[in-house]
Amino acid sequence: MRVRGWWLAVAAALIVLPLAGLGVGLAMLDPDAIKLRLAAIVLRQTGRTLSLNGPLRIGWSFWPTLQVNDVTLANLPGGSRPDMARAERIEAQISLPALLRHQLEVVKLTLVGPNILFEQVGDQPNWIFQSSAAPKATSGNPAAPTVPPTSDPGPTLRFRHVIVQNGMITFRFPARTKVVGIRTLNFRKPTNNGPLSFSSVLVYSDYQPFSLKVAALPTGGLRDPWKTRLDFAAYDTTASAKGTMDLAGAYDLQISANVPALEKLNALLPQMNLPPLHRMTVATHLMNGPAHGDLPVVGQTKLHVGSADLQALSSGLTLGTFDVSLAEAGGLAKVSGVGKLAKLGFAVDGSVGVPKYPDRKVEVPLDLVLRTPGVAGQDIGIKGKTALDALAFAGLDAAFIAHTPALSGLRSLMTPMLPALTKVSVTGRLAIPASIGSFSVTGANLAATEAQLAGDATVGLGTARSVTARLHGARLDLDALLPAATGAAPGKAAQAGAGSAATGSVIPDVPLPLASLRGPTIDMAVAVDVLTLRRQAWQDASLALTLKGGKLVVGKMQARLPAGQVDGSLTVDGSTNHGPVSLALHATGIPLALVEREAGLPGPAEGSLSITTDLHATGSSLHGMAASLDGPLAVTMIGGRMSNSALTELAGASLKALSIKVPAQGDTAVRCFGLVGSFSKGVGRFDTIAVDTGYLQLSGSGQVDLGAETVALKLHPLARLAGSKVVVPVLVTGPFRNIQSGLDANGFDKVGLLIDALFGGDKPKTCLAAGLVPVR
pLDDT in tens, 147-168: 444 445 556 678 788 888 888 8
DSSP letters spanning 280-348:
EEEEEEEE--SSTTPPPEEEEEEEEESEEE-TTTSTTEEEEEEEEEESSTTSEEEEEEEEEETTEEEEE
Among left, alpha and beta (phi > 0; psi -120 to 50; other), residue 550 is left
Q: Is the pLDDT of residue 23 over 80?
A: no
pLDDT band for 764, please (50, 70, 90 cuts). low
Per-residue pLDDT reduced to its tens digit, 376-391: 889 999 999 999 988 7
Region 576-603: what's the mean pLDDT? 84
Residue 725 burial (CB count, 10 A): 18
The beta strand positions in 378-435, using DSSP E, are 379-389, 392-406, 422-432
Reference 130, options 287, 4, 276, 248; nearest CA is: 248
> Which amino acid is residue 549, in one-letter code?
G
Size of the chain in residues: 776
Contacts of 10 (CB under 8 A, 6+ apart): none
Q: Name 197's bridge partners.
A: 188, 215
The beta strand positions in 551-639, using DSSP E, are 551-561, 564-573, 581-591, 605-617, 631-638
* pLDDT score at 206: 63
> Is the dihedral angle over the CA atoms 352, 384, 436, 484 positive or is it negative?
negative
pLDDT band for 1, please (50, 70, 90 cuts). very low
Per-residue pLDDT reduced to its tens digit, 715-726: 877 654 444 455
Q: Is the pLDDT of residue 563 over 60?
A: yes
Q: In this structure, are residues 73 and 42 in contact, taking their beta carbons and an 8 Å threshold? A: yes
> Which amino acid is residue 553, in one-letter code?
V
Residue 747 burial (CB count, 10 A): 7
Percent of the chain surpassing pLDDT 90: 32
Global pTM value = 0.60
DSSP 8-class letter at 513: -
Q: Name 182's bridge partners.
A: 167, 202
Q: How far apart are CA 545 and CA 528, in angstroms?
A: 14
pLDDT band for 410, please (50, 70, 90 cuts). confident
Percent of the chain surpassing pLDDT 70: 82
Q: Is the pLDDT of residue 9 over 60?
A: no
Q: Domain spans of the chain?
A: 600-611+622-776
Q: Angle at Cα 446 formed by Cα 445 and Cα 449, nearest 5°?
A: 150
Contacts of 679 (CB under 8 A, 6+ apart): 615, 629, 630, 631, 632, 633, 685, 706
> Which amino acid is residue 692, in one-letter code?
D
Per-residue pLDDT reduced to its tens digit, 637-665: 888 888 888 888 877 777 776 677 888 88
